[in-house]
Structure formats: C-alpha cells, structure tokens
Amino acid sequence: MFINLVKNLEKLGYQVSCFGSAKEASIYLNSQIDHQTVGFGGSMTLEQMGLFDSLSKHNTVYWHQGISDKEASKNMRMKANAAAIYISSVNGIAETGEIINIDGNCNRIASIVYGHEKVYFVIGKNKIAKDYDSALYRARNTAGPLNAKRLGAKTPCAADAKQCYDCSSPERICRGLSVLWGKPMTGEYEVILIDEVLGY
C-alpha cells in the first residue's frame, strides 16, 4: 500500500504511517496526541473522520470550521496557529513527494510550514497524483472548485465545480499556494496515508 509514495516521503525526511481505514488512522492519532493543544486546518477529511470530537476528549483543539462569526473564526484560527500540534489534510500530493495546498485566508499554509512542534498531514488515497504537475492540477481543478462550492462562494468554479477559471472574483478562495519540496527543517512532520477516499 502506497509503496513508492512512502519511500519518496521518507527520503524527503517525513515520518509516514499507513492505514487501511479512517477509523484506524483516528485511533492512531488519538494514541499519539494526548493532553496537547491542537490546531486544525480547514478540512473535510478531518470532519469526515470525526477527529475533532475524538481528540477534544483529551486535548484542547482549536478549529474554525463551521464558525460563521468572522471575528470568532479569526480568533480560533489564531489559536490554532499557536497550538503545539497542527493537523491538516492536503489538496494534492505527488507520488514523488511534493505536498501542495491552496488557501484563501492562508492560515493553513502558514501553519503547515512553520511554528509547531509537530504537523500531521492526514491524506486519503484520492489526493494522490502521479507527479508534481498532476498534484498541482488536482489542487486547482478538483479541490479548489469543490471547496468553493461547499463554501457557497460566488465564483465561476463554484458554479460547475469542474475546473479553475483563474478568476478575479472578490470571493476567490485560492489566494495562496504552498509546495513542500521536502520536510521543513524545524519541527516534526508525519504523513498519515489512508486507503480510503476522504475529503476533496
């Protein structure tokens, strides 16, 4: 399972753990993260896994997803960015190891590159692409439009959820791009690969 990807990620300095199901991955994460402050990036993968509820039973977890009040959402994102542990999914990951995320507020891409004791990337098999170009294409033309539609953004991509139009809409959600060519030099990073379709 994920043999080539695991090999390439480990060469790039990441810890890697593989699981057959989201439930198994959730059990593992709950065993690894205890009595910590934990920040979540916006993620349908984490929502589908019910990870906020399970981790919140024995950790202090900060997540802005579902908070409609702008100021409260901003405050929650700031707390998440200051947490010891940060958990995010990705918009695309290449078999060659590049990890790609696109963001609107850019809180998520800010958090995954610096400032936490450990970052976990939780990734369903549908996020994997054969190479960097394919992973970037997936992030822009699959994840971006589906997230825009979910958020009710008034953008061309949200209307059909099929492709990026590189629009100039004031509600455009793809405003920042991060590419990790390898593990950042500070902090621990672990990639959690799950043999299920999760998120966008």
Residue range 131-185, pLDDT digits in tens: 999 999 999 999 999 999 998 999 999 999 889 999 999 999 999 999 999 999 9
Percent of the chain with pLDDT over 70: 100
Q: Taking Cα atoms as reference points, which of 42, 177, 63 lies closest to residue 108?
A: 42
pLDDT at 81: 96
Sorting pLDDT into bands at 50, 70 and 90, what band is 1?
A: confident
pLDDT at 161: 87
Q: Which two tokens stand for residue 47?
A: 């929502």
Q: What is the pLDDT of residues 4-42, one digit of tens each?
A: 999 999 999 999 999 999 999 999 999 999 999 999 999
More confidently predicted of 125 and 186: 125
- Do the Cβ atoms of 97 and 12 come closer than 8 Å? yes
Per DSSP, the residues of 84-125 read SEEEE--SEEETTS-EEEEESS-HHHHHHHSS-SEEEEEEEG
- The answer, as to whether pTM is greater than 0.85, is yes
Average pLDDT of the chain to the nearest whole number = 96
Please give the order of strands across the beta sheet that includes 85-88: 15-19, 188-194, 118-124, 85-88, 37-40, 60-62
Average pLDDT score over residue span 68-85: 94
